[in-house]
Structure 1
Amino acid sequence: MVWWLMPQALAQDVSITALFKPDSAHPHLNQFKNTTPPSGYCQLYPGQCEENKTFSLQVPIRFDSSQAIPANHASPRQGATFKVPAQWRDLTVRHESGEVETVKVRITGVGSRHVTQDVMQLVGGADDYRIAHNLLWGSSWVNSPPPCLYSGVGYYGTNYYGFFWKTPVEAACDKQAKFNIPWLRYDHLDFSYELVTPNPLGMLAGHYTGSLTYTIGPSGDFDFGDVMLPSSPVLTMNFNLDVQHTLKVDIPPGGEKVQLVPAGGWQSWLQAGRKPVRLFRDQTFNISASSRFKMYMECEWSTAYDCMLDDRVSKRGVELQVFVTLPNGLTDMSGQPVRHMRMRSGAANALYFQPGFYVDRAPGVLHFEVPQSQMAFMLEPGAGPFYRGKVTVIWDSEV
């Protein structure tokens, strides 16, 4: 018994990369930028693709005719026909931490370079090769058959024609041969695609990866008829979304030392003996943020939730309350503005915030206050004269 071993068709992969990095010049542009190097039609004709907002990739999947293509063939599937997955499909991309997001993809264009015998010989003569190509197929390959749409120029030679068509719907676009074609080949597969990516402001910094596999061949996702058979049965698109967030906080010089005073200063107390209602200080900071983050504080001395100031002479302590106000564009996790929100000590009591757009060096405020309930205690005879304490406020992007 003799066994014939046929070489196995290899799967074809293509990589698609996209980057989100906040841009202070365009803080409201919260979108990924496609960083995949273009190839194929858009590499040859970048002006056409820019005008039509098309982005193409070329993969080395070749299609060869399994039989001759007869003139005026009754079934479109006996000749040149193209149907691609133009409807939206979902794929899952996964972060290194395990968090997942959804990306939507659709194929928006298809093209190749078809090769056959000398076209002037096939049509029995013509004034030039452009006319011969048109006679062979009934019309120019630049002018796509419906429902495909025109996308720009084509290129041709004695035995080949390069083309690219838009594919607005998932339906076949057919070309009927007007003369017998002994053999036909598509040298490669060009395609364009459109992505809908998640809101990067809600994603973790780092890389998200995922893949989507399309079938190639008769009745597949990329279906070029019953005669044109592919060198690969599948096309896998591997996605890598790179999220580079910004979280930066700037405290003005001297802002690390906070001195609490009554409203109007100490003169009313020193000169008239009028007791202060409370002691407070507002400390501004500038924040840049493009991702979720949390805030909490650590105290040198604390109660269960609040920090304490300590009089080291009398060993007395008073409660210090800390509040935060964030600029427009930053909200709590329910979408509410952050205005004078109470902070508590310890990471377990962290407050969580999210941006609605990239916030770039916008002012926020830390409010420090010794409340009225503590003032009588502070001003008792023998108390004071100084209360001190360290409070560490933490902005953390690792949520």
Structure 2
Amino acid sequence: MNVVATLKKTLLPCALALGAASISVPAMAFVEAITAVFRPDPTNPMSNKFVNTTPQSGLCPWHAPAKCEAVNTFSIRNEQFRASSSGPIAAYPDDPRKSAYFKVPSAFRDVQVIHQGTGNVETVQMRIAGIGAAWRLSYPPGVSGWATTTAPNWGTYWRGAPAPCMPINHISAGTNFALFFWIVPENAGACSVTNGYAIPWLNYYHLEYGYELKTPDPLGMEAGVYEGAVTYSMGPGADFDFGDTMIPNDNVATFNFILSVEHVLKVDLPPGGNRIELLPQGGWQAWLNQGRHPTRLYRDQTFSIAASTRFKMTLECGLVSGNTCGLRNGNGDEVSVQIAVSLPHGLSDASGQAVNKRALRLDGSGTELFQATQYVNNRPATLHFEVGKEDVSEMLKHPGTTYSGAATVVWDSEI
């Protein structure tokens, strides 16, 4: 008996991207794009994380890559940022807000991102995890203006970091300028440096930052493009607070998100696997030689599956028999064939249960949702085909005839 099972292979790169909507902004506005991607890694299938793809710039990649990598940080430079002192800075000011003062939004903030096709909403969390700048001050006093009685070396806190910030232990400097970068722990307060000499004027002529993201599990996210943005205030007492003396050239900083998820759903049959021959246990010899009637006809057909996304399975039949497919001989006699699927560990149903000989039905019940709890990379799975005892007895009434039919099994990620 020949059963033709036609399997539709599905390879679905699903781009999930938190994207930046088109926003009209002034030419000097602080607007940054943040990008990340999830792409299943066959060499590390247990890693279900986004990879940061925002291009790095500034001190870390250009001046101290090894030091930044050693403390697991990175920098991104915004060239449009400027801040200038509103007046002279007295030596040993009575308030740290009157000197070099940096307080950034180091606590995580929720950011809603919206799927561009379906409108589904996911939540990403972001915090600023590093801060730096290039500063220039009047000469005299030049860089020596930062020397104090407690820190005679002017670069002590610029090369290191004032608490609660943490150092990467690098600074690039000249007679009246320097480039620095500090790590900012979660929920940190302000980090400040006091000047020991009067400074007539001080400028920041770009800003460097690092960030940390918490993203949803990409395996549970819908394929497609997501967009979202978060805006922070800038200025005295704002989210980005540079004290009362240093006034930034913009009062907002906007971060637009572009996160991409490239899901995989791929099914492969071995050569000839699309033609299914149903046989009794041990073949036909027991019936032919001993007259022993078979109780069932069956075939287990293996296939390989790679999946990082949700999918459903459906059944289509050349000949319908109830809620499944049928087989027919040349005389028009018909029987039903039951079709089921078993999936490997890492793929479960909607309730988290393992998928073992789950029946495939024409109405789709029971196979409406399978989900990846981890990336499954070319793991073996099985399609089960079986004609049951009653139908086998009916078939044996017509010896010498061949029953055949066609069944189409569909793996579909569009749920």
**TM-score, normalised on structure 1?**
0.91
Match of 2:197 among 173, 179, 193: 179
Alignment partner, residue 58 of structure 1: 77
Number of the residue aligned with 2:414: 398
- Kept in 1, the 8 Å contact 2:321–2:335? The answer is no
Unaligned segments of structure 1, at least 5 residues: 1-7
Q: Which amino acid aligns with 2:389?
A: Q
Q: Deviations over 1:293-337 (max 9, x none)?
A: 111110001134111111232x11101100100111111111111
- Pairing partner for 2:369 from 339, 346, 352: 352
Q: Report the counterpart of residue 166 of structure 1 in structure 2.
A: 183
The verdict on how the C-alpha distance between 1:188 and 1:122 changes in structure 2, with shifts beyond 3 A counting, is closer
SS of the residue 1:390 aligns to:
strand
Residue of structure 1 equivalent to 2:350 = 333
For this pair of structures, how many residues does the alignment match? 385
The aligned counterpart of 1:99 is 120
SS of 1:188's partner is: strand
**CA deviation after TM superposition for structure 1 residue 30, in Å:** 1.0
Matching residue of 1:319: 336
Q: Distance in 1 between matches of 2:245 and 2:283?
A: 90
Mapping 1:195-214, distance limit 5 Å: 195-214=213-232
- Could you tell me which residue of structure 2 aligns to residue 5 of structure 1? none
Q: Does 1:48 align with 2:67?
A: yes
1:129-175 Cα deviation digits (max 9, x unpaired): 9999x659684411221111112210110111211111113311121
Counterpart amino acid of residue 358 in structure 1: Y
Contact preservation (8 Å) 1:72, 1:177 = yes
Q: Which residue of 1 aligns with 2:244?
A: 226
1:273-284 to 2 correspondences below 5 Å: 273-284=291-302
Q: Does 1:379 align with 2:396?
A: yes
Any idea what SS the aligned residue of 1:351 has?
coil
Match of 1:272 among 290, 301, 311: 290
Higher RCO (CA < 8 A, seq sep 6+): 2
Decide whether the 8 Å contact of 1:378 with 1:384 is kept in 2.
Answer: no
Contact 2:147 2:154 in 1 (8 A): no
- For the residues of structure 1 that align with 2:280 and 2:264, how far apart are their CA atoms? 37
| SS of corresponding position for 1:236 | strand
Counterpart check, 1:117 vs 2:138: yes
Offset at 1:273? Answer: 1.8
CA offset digits 1:243-283 (Å, max 9, x no partner): 11111111011111100011111112112221110110000
Note the 1:184-195 alignment, pairs <5 A. 184-195=202-213
Report what 1:3 is aligned to: none
Match of 1:250 among 268, 289, 297: 268
Root-mean-square deviation (CA, aligned residues, Å) is: 2.2
**In structure 1, C-alpha distance between the alignment counterparts of 2:290 and 2:259, rounded to whole Å:** 66
Match of 1:298 in 2: 316
1:19 partnered with 2:40: no
AA in 2 matched with 1:93 = V
**Could you tell me which residue of structure 2 aligns to residue 82 of structure 1?**
102
Sequence identity percentage: 45
Is the 8 Å Cα contact of residues 319 and 405 (structure 2) preserved in structure 1? yes
In the alignment, which residue of structure 2 is the partner of 1:156? Answer: 173
Q: CA deviation at 1:122?
A: 8.2
Measure, in 1, the Cα distance between the counterparts of 2:59 and 2:227: 27
The alpha carbon displacement at 1:377 in A equals 1.6
Residue 43 of structure 1 aligns to a residue in which SS? helix
Q: Does the alignment pair 1:68 with 2:114? A: no
Residues 331, 338 of structure 1: 8 Å contact kept: yes
CA distance in 1: counterparts of 2:83 and 2:339, whole angstroms: 69
Aligned to 1:108: 129
SS of corresponding position for 1:354: strand
Give 1:204 deviation, angstroms: 2.3
Q: CA deviation at 1:346?
A: 4.8
Q: Assess if the C-alpha contact under 8 Å between 2:141 and 2:199 holds in 1.
A: no
Query: Equivalents in 2 of 1:209, 1:303: separation in Å?
Result: 46
Q: Which string of whole-angstrom CA distances, capped at 9 and with x for unpartnered residues, describes residues 213-262 of structure 1?
A: 11111111010101101111111111111111111111011111100011
Corresponding residue for residue 359 of structure 2: 342
Letter of the aligned partner of 2:391 in structure 1? Q
Counterpart amino acid of 1:333? Answer: A
The equivalent residue for 1:389 is: 405
Report the counterpart of residue 234 of structure 2 in structure 1. 216
- Kindly tell me: are residues 9 and 264 of structure 1, through their superposed partners in 2, closer, same or farther at Cα, counting changes over 3 Å? closer
TM-score (norm 2): 0.88
